[in-house]
């Protein structure tokens, strides 16, 4: 017999962002009432415009570095710029978003007795000396580099979550999210998938940093959201952190060549110096997610890229709308 699952009131911070908007959709489809909170620094109203008329959806402009007073049953904390271009734009604010945002959302969860999810990141592993990266690996992070505002901010947020769990018996769930891609990525966020696709569709040279042999693993957004929901549904005995990502590993050159093939572009590859502290390899060990969540990604890179290319193709095809204007909110 199917278990009865009553509707819940759910807060999603960063809900108008790439991942947050997909999460809001899935939660509403499950019959929940969703309060989407975003300050629209990287998130956009366009990402959730199709939900605005839904009676189960509410949108609020708010910055999580300030306290929020609402009544909800669950909290998903996704608020934080996640691409180097955006999180390095105002590094102090990035750290504040991770740390003060976590404090404010944990305080809210404590007051309400609500279960709370933290969107952590594979960046907590830094430039790893262990490959692939298991959850037990403590990382290799530069605490004073250009990426530190994000890397160390997320590490501190994890510390806060586990201290609230130990000190206040708060129900927490922490996921370390690896590279994720799909529709609604910002076209100018500096991430490799969006960069390569936009450059290929415009017929521009595709920029590869380094020699192109550094590796990443790419998880399609629908797979990632499924993993998040499975984690949130686990019992109080399982907190994480748990890696969520696709364990298939590709070099930057392989990704660029696949994008060129899918788009039919005549773009050429050009190589530039590798940015400081850029990891040489990144691949999740997902055995814990498979064992405890019954989760593993199912969308192959080629299939996911085809869907993502179609999204960017439609975006760029709007003759009177530039990518910046389309995402200006």
Find the CATH number of the domain harbouring 38: 3.40.50.720
DSSP H helices in the chain: 18-29, 84-87, 91-112, 148-168, 192-201, 221-232, 252-263, 287-293, 301-317, 323-326
Catalytic residue among 150, 164, 181, 220: 150
Residue 150 is a catalytic residue:
yes
- Residue 66 in any domain: the answer is yes
pLDDT at 88 (0 to 100): 77
pLDDT at 87 (0 to 100): 67
pLDDT at 103 (0 to 100): 98
pLDDT at 86 (0 to 100): 67
- Residue 14 in any domain: the answer is yes
pLDDT at 324 (0 to 100): 47
pLDDT at 82 (0 to 100): 72
Q: Which residue has the tokens 């402009």?
A: 61
115 pairs with which residues across the strands?
74
Domain count, the chain: 1
Q: Which residues span the domain enclosing 250? A: 9-326
- Residue 268 in any domain: the answer is yes
Residues 69/10, Cβ–Cβ less than 8 Å: no
- Per-residue pLDDT of the chain (329 residues), as tens digits, is 334 457 899 999 999 999 999 999 999 999 999 999 999 988 999 999 999 999 999 999 999 999 999 999 999 999 987 766 666 778 898 999 999 999 999 999 999 999 999 999 999 999 888 989 999 999 989 899 888 888 999 999 999 999 999 999 999 999 999 999 999 998 887 789 999 999 999 999 999 988 889 899 999 999 999 999 999 999 999 999 999 999 999 999 999 999 999 999 999 999 988 777 677 788 999 999 999 999 999 999 999 999 999 999 998 887 444 444 444 43
| Cis amide prior to 132 (ω within 30 degrees) | yes
- What is the edge-to-edge ordering of all strands in the sheet holding 242-244? 57-61, 33-38, 9-13, 74-77, 115-121, 172-177, 242-244
- Residue 197 in any domain: the answer is yes
For 61, list phi and psi in degrees, rounded to 5. Answer: -85, 120
According to the 3-state scheme, what is the secondary structure of 96-137? HHHHHHHHHHHHHHHHHCCEEEEEEEHHHHECCCCCCECCCC
């Amino acid at each position: 017999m199917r278990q009865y699952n009553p509707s819940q009131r759910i807060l999603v911070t960063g809900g108008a962002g790439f991942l947050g908007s997909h999460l809001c959709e899935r939660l509403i489809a499950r019959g929940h009432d969703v309060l989407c909170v975003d300050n629209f620094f990287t998130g956009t109203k366009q990402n959730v415009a199709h939900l605005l008329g839904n009676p189960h959806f509410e949108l609020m402009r708010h910055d999580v570095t300030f306290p929020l007073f609402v009544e909800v049953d669950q909290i998903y904390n996704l608020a934080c710029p996640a691409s180097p271009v955006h999180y390095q734009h105002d590094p102090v604010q990035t750290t504040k978003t991770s740390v003060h945002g976590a404090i404010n959302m944990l305080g809210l969860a404590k007051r309400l007795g609500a279960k709370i999810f933290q969107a952590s990141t594979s960046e907590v592993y830094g430039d790893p000396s262990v490959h692939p990266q298991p959850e037990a690996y403590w990382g290799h992070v530069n605490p004073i580099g250009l990426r530190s505002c994000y890397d160390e901010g997320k590490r501190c947020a994890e510390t806060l979550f586990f201290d609230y769990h130990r000190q206040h018996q708060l129900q927490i769930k922490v996921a370390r999210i690896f590279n994720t891609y799909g529709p609604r990525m910002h076209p100018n966020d500096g991430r490799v998938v969006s960069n390569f696709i936009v450059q290929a569709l415009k017929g521009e040279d595709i920029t590869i940093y380094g020699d192109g042999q550094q590796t990443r693993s790419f998880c399609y957004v629908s797979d990632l959201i499924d993993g998040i929901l499975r984690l949130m549904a686990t019992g109080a005995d399982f907190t994480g952190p748990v890696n969520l990502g696709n364990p298939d590993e590709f070099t930057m050159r392989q990704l660029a060549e696949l994008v060129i093939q899918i788009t039919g572009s005549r773009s050429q590859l050009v190589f530039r110096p590798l940015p400081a502290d850029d990891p040489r390899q990144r691949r999740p060990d997902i055995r814990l997610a498979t064992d405890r969540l019954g989760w593993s990604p199912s969308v192959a890179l080629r299939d996911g890229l085809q869907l993502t290319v179609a999204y960017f193709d439609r975006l760029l095809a709007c003759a009177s709308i530039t990518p910046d204007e389309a995402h200006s909110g």
